[in-house]
Amino acid sequence: MPATEEGSKRLLDFFVYGMLRAAESLGNPPLFLRTVAEEGLRKFLLVNLPTFQASDDATEACDAFTKAADRSGLFDGSDTVFRGDANTVHAEIGDRCPYRRVCTVRHDEGRPVHCIRTYAIAEMLRIRLDADFDWKLTRFGRPCQITIQRSRLGRT
């Protein structure tokens, strides 16, 4: 394990950057990243957030999930804000996002920014609300702005 918090962050940056490049080289980053989020999240929800109960309202579910992840020590969610309703969520993610450094590097390189946080949130919604959600990073910056919507391709 890295000796310092900064070392842990660098290790995370290293793995996430490599994962994103691998996802692109395989030709379908959304599939790759969604699958990583899904596989990791099922275990994470069971082991680390056993008491987390998602509301049927997507905005409330996103808020509750972020607060639960924050409490579990995964990341600092205090500068993450969700507004919206049961079907549409407008999220703002601030400077404390653990992936910000990698996203900034990719943005500066002119590569697409794939929001790992939102992949995880969309998968959480799919797992817990049994509904598909589409999302879009509408602005990369401080804060990042993301819109998450119940998919029109879904059955319900």
Partner 1 sequence: MTDVWARLEETIDELSHVTDIKSAAVVRRDGLVVTHTLPEGVDPKIVAAMTAAIVGTSEMATVQLAQGRFVRAIVESDHGKLLSLGAGDEALLVALVYDDANLGLVLMAMERAAKQVEQILQDGSTG
Task: List residues binding partner 1 (CB under 8 A).
Answer: 25-28, 30-31, 34-35, 126, 132, 151-156
The smaller minimum CB distance to partner 1, of residues 7 and 30, is found at 30
The candidate with the shortest Cα–Cα distance to 123, out of 80, 62, 57, 59, is: 62
Nearest distance, CB of residue 1 and partner 1, angstroms: 33
CB of 130 to partner 1, least distance (A): 12
Residue type present at position 55 = S
Nearer to partner 1 by Cβ, of 4 and 156: the residue is 156
Q: How far apart are CA 121 and CA 41, in angstroms?
A: 9
Q: Minimum distance from CB of 13 to partner 1 (Å)? A: 24
The nearest distance, CB 128 to partner 1, in angstroms, is 16
- Residues 59 and 84: beta-carbon distance below 8 Å: yes
Partner residues linked to 84 by β-bridges: 89
Angle at 112 between CA 101 and CA 95, to 5 degrees: 30
Q: Looking at beta carbons only, is 35 or 104 nearer to partner 1? A: 35
Among 80, 50, 45, CA closest to 62: 80
- Taking the least distance from each CB to partner 1, the nearer of 43 and 155 is 155
